[in-house]
Structure 1
């Protein structure tokens, strides 16, 4: 498995500049200032590239999950569903295909570990849990697959807005002390503590949001590449604290704040719009 911190090439949807022009201008400046030149994926139908693009296992090996999430089943969303095969053909990529339904936003990865929410089980009723987890472990060549409950109110059921890996031994997790669903919180922390990994809580202000979907305040949905973390900020009181925390825990990594309010109000942030790989 190629971990985020190993990646050196960034792909975006060209729709990002059209649909989110204010955010795009700020993000593109942040990339330019740090010498990162993104490439653009043609044939995309929305901006959330991580969800429909394949997962990189090694330099030349990719796994393509079936992009058919429940939340896009209503007819009004059909025009937003990208065809990964067309996009991959454009860039000369031939990933290994699986019939397992999953979004890349639900594949939070380290070198040999992945965290997914239990949405993966709901999306694949034709598999038993044992069959499903075993097949994912084999496909992604993992030592450990960690399943956690989905965050209440997140219609996508993705893990990348909840947790991220600092390294093989440490997980960053949102501070869920304000979460009213205490059963969810108990289940989440039980699942994470059972991994034996160390936990670091990251402040979040998602509970200040009045509407869903709205990911404003979800700092954990950052873009990480080799030597860089592009960290979403929101003009909120937590910004400075989180930037300082990231600078403290990601030693040797350049932390680049990117104001992301225009994007976050649509329910996704920097990891969601990025397909970053190692070439």
Structure 2
């Protein structure tokens, strides 16, 4: 007699580029219950204007098509983060993808029970990271995608998060990047509880390493938001929306820690 597989839980990590979405999904994928892609369908869902759950079935997930993404087999992102998922797929219970914030309306509509982890990060380090990528001649990142484009995307991502916060309610967890990866007490428990998971040794080790890296390296990096750029960000960045989201993230965290 075979035991029926329980209904899978779908989960997504969303946010503006350079907000810690990749770091978060890499952490989550160290848990035995989770199989999550890294921009697995970055080209497809904007074209479809939809994110059907069938895309997260095993056969389709590992059937790479050029129209899906540029991060397929043979690229470091796929080979390091996605290819290893096939081995644990049949025993996992949570499946999903890491995408940009623009996927939020489609995921919310097409996968009504999906859990969404939405990453929040201050415009300063986001813009700095966009500048770094834009300046690298060996990077596929477009040269024009600097701090000016960053602030537009940052504003839009935050607007989407605010628009969907009430609709999604407990289905969306707002994660403050700096607070989470600095090792704030209880925050990792909030994340695992949100996904209905327990601690595992590999997951905990990875989280500890990520916290150490953030505290020792990432938080110490000098900002590459240059003279004149800070004024632009001050004028263009919708900090009021961001502060509202940070407040909501703090309230969520406090409520879930004390639950």
Q: TM-score, normalised by structure 1?
A: 0.26
- Which has the larger share of strand? 1
